[in-house]
Amino acid sequence: MRVGFDVSALSRPHSRGLVRVVENLLGALERRGELELVRLAPERGVDLLRWRQRELPRLASAAGCLGVHSSTSAFPLGAARRVQTVHELPWRHGVRENADLRHRLWASLGSARAQRVVVPSAFVAADLARSPFVASAKIRVVPWGVEARFQPEPPPMTVDEALFTRYRLPEGPYLFCPGAVRAKKNLSALLYGLAERQQRKSEPLRVLLTGGDTPQLRSDLGLASKLGLGRWVSMLDEIADADLPSVYRLAYAVPVLSHSEGFGLPVLEAMACGTPVLVPCASAPSEVAGAAGLALDPRSPAELADALERVASERFELRRRGLARAQEFTWDAAAEKVAALWRELA
């Protein structure tokens, strides 16, 4: 069964998380071998919208493809069979990022035109099913997997602690918050929780951020200074992919406090590395974490402070649960669900 796969996310600027999802899902599908995948990508300089709607259906047809699988919400309307991927619906939760009219139309009217819609969590499926244009029967939940390099112990010849020197990090326990320089990541909630801990005279915790300079980062750094936490916040523009597992393993905990996330790869990666996670109640991150995560209301600094104290007292049990939970998410399982979807369409 030959299927065209829109891999434009690998050749045009897209989020780091989406690129990793596409790479790993493609790799798992190709290893599986049931689908004959034809990678379809635009040439350099070509308008992506025009290419997707005009050239992509033609390329897929010329290659004898049954249809086109898109890793984003945008897909070629002219393809014979169309599979769409909706990663999140942030506007359902009051978040402005990726909530413009184009994203909303693809998630609602676009989903009405797709034969199947892939979503990474039941949380997103429920959000999408609220649209009057989308039939729930065409939605398929395909949870993402975790890469094998995210392990609780470092590989031979790797010393995690070398990162403190490599990235000039101050030593001491830290909370790792990847990409928390955007408003949706809700860094301010964490800062208020740390301020609550400070009032309780608890041991200070550092916050390690990645993601580069943004207006939201500057706003949050101002809040940190106001709360007396300025010297406890460290910023890195980027961490090499090869170093990510070490950063997770060394962390005291990984808070993922965004309620609009569609999945939350950092939650899964942290658990696979044996690191406790803090997640919002009734969210996609809490769905991924299951009983292994410390679920809380991010609007409550007291709850957040309590959860951070529980990390210290329950660390062994949280590690055990997290490792077991992470083993439930594999890219091979994701590939099986995608292959099953295309069997249905065939």
Report the alpha-carbon distance of residue 84 to residue 118 in Å, rounded: 6
Produce one character per residue of 50-83: b if its CB has 16 or more CB atoms within 10 Å, e if not. Answer: ebbbebbbebbeeeebbbbbbbbbbbbeebebbb
Residues 53-70 pLDDT 10s = 999 999 999 999 999 999
Strands (E), 186-292: 206-210, 233-236, 254-255, 277-280
Task: Tell me if the pTM is above 0.85.
Answer: yes
Report the alpha-carbon distance of residue 210 to residue 222 in Å, rounded: 17
Per-residue pLDDT band at 13 (split at 50, 70, 90): confident
Average pLDDT, the chain: 95
Helix (H, G, I), strand (E, B) or coil at 346: coil
Confidence (pLDDT) at 45 = 86
Residue 200: phi and psi, rounded to 5, are: -85, 0
Report the alpha-carbon distance of residue 106 to residue 157 in Å, rounded: 47
- The reply to whether domains 2-145+330-345 and 162-326 share a CATH topology is yes
Strands (E), 161-256: 174-177, 206-210, 233-236, 254-255
Domain residue extents for the chain: 2-145+330-345, 162-326
CB of 42 within 8 A of CB of 8? yes
Residues 15-31 pLDDT 10s = 888 999 999 999 999 99
Confidence (pLDDT) at 44 = 87
CA distances from 113 to 116, 124, 133 (A): 9, 18, 9
Instruction: Please calculate the CA angle 54-19-159 and round it to the nearest 5 degrees.
Output: 165
Amino acid at 264: G
Q: What topology does CATH give the domain 2-145+330-345?
A: Rossmann fold (3.40.50)
CATH number assigned to the domain covering 162-326 = 3.40.50.2000
